[in-house]
Structure 1
């Protein structure tokens, strides 16, 4: 929690739980059961997220057949208080999730980014009497398998033929894509 402000305490906790459910819960990640995340949302949003879980960056699902390394998820980010256009409290979040995949017997791994896929999620959450609202959700995925990404799933580079980086990707270091104080990139690296 960024501070002890009682006006935001419940919102911070709701945002934390939504981040954990959406990006770390094995039922969402591995089983593709989005209910741990959806169940905390306001009823008005639930069907939309059930029917289209990749309509924002608040949920990560691994492509079936891919396995993470033990302790294969690292998280970094921050949350801070804000207000919507009506002056109501909301919580801004910007988090980076690094998922390290088990390469199995893959013999052509050249660097760490072939087994580590990175997700950046910038999501604004608002807690109301009805539940949690995802007010805004924007994200970016780096060092991922493109076909899996187009289908709404996360998989490591080594599972597909590697594409050449775009000009923007070649110019920037991976850290630059994920710094919490930089804008979300406009290209995904997948053609």
Structure 2
């Protein structure tokens, strides 16, 4: 596909698109984070998720006339080559690791894939704002704390609620790219399998007045499987890009609108933020 930013006319450069990127991280307190803690095992211990920090980034890009022509929402972006929906969640081959058989690793990987689908792709989550399918996959001791995150900006780190005022493009599945890896160690005296996921989720939107027909989330999560205790959502970092800041503050995903564009300094190509290899060390214009 052609590059929508190629051949940029200077008359269009005056109408710059502000693409904001919000970044956050969370961490899980106690339990598995404190290795070999004194006082015995972790059974029945409550684990909580918590915001760890906020960074900031501004990305300003100019439109070329070719971008304004009606084309696919992902044309000219890295996402045009990404897989559609669940096909983008590839799993590595399962092998035995310390404390876990190959079968147990395979089962954990499949649980993580089911959680990613429930969190980022299932319409019940995206537009129905119903987290029940995801919460049910987690260890019983963690369900209450994770449930309390929905409807809060923190949920962007692990799940997507689309703004009811926005409209997903019915002809386009979310585009997905990333990786899944795993390792094992001992935490609190218990063998623990860690599944590490790093994905970009790019959602197409329809409607008038959009600065760009998509918004995206990049997340890096650790899913923990302490032997015999189910699946726990562990640590995570993420950022959201090409989105509406007002919606974001309410825990909702919506694309940036032309009416909210502010001219400014031009930074690097904003499409870089759609790359799963992009650093999580970004800055945040939403609070600026």
TM-score with structure 1 length normalisation? 0.84
Within the candidate set 91, 94, 99, 1:4 is matched to 94
* 8 Å contact from structure 2 (residues 163, 252) kept in 1: yes
Q: 1:180/1:48 Cα in 2 relative to 1: closer, same or farther (>3 Å)? A: same
Query: Are 1:184 and 2:274 an aligned pair?
Result: no
2-side partners of 1:41 and 1:23: how far apart? 15
- Alignment-derived partner of residue 244 in structure 2: 145
Pick the structure with greater CA Rg.
Answer: 2
Bigger relative contact order, structure 1 or 2 (CA pairs below 8 A, ≥6 apart):
2
- Alignment-derived partner of residue 155 in structure 1: 254
- Alignment-derived partner of residue 123 in structure 1: 221
- Alignment-derived partner of residue 162 in structure 2: 62
Q: Deviations over 1:132-189 (max 9, x none)?
A: 2111121110000000011111001128623456x6xx43323433433342133233
* 8 Å contact from structure 1 (residues 72, 100) kept in 2: yes
Q: 1:2/1:46 Cα in 2 relative to 1: closer, same or farther (>3 Å)? A: same
Where structure 1 has 5 or more consecutive residues not aligned to the other structure, the ranges are none
Query: Are 1:37 and 2:122 an aligned pair?
Result: no
Where structure 2 has 5 or more consecutive residues not aligned to the other structure, the ranges are 1-90, 96-101
- Alignment-derived partner of residue 132 in structure 1: 231
Within the candidate set 95, 98, 104, 2:202 is matched to 98
User: What root-mean-square deviation, in Å, do the aligned CA atoms of Structure 1 and Structure 2 show?
Assistant: 2.2
2-side partners of 1:159 and 1:51: how far apart? 33
Q: 1:159/1:44 Cα in 2 relative to 1: closer, same or farther (>3 Å)? A: farther
1-side partners of 2:118 and 2:112: how far apart? 10
Which deviates the most, 29-38 or 122-131? 122-131
After TM superposition, what 4+ stretches of structure 1 lie above 4 angstroms from structure 2? none
Q: 1:159/1:37 Cα in 2 relative to 1: closer, same or farther (>3 Å)? A: farther
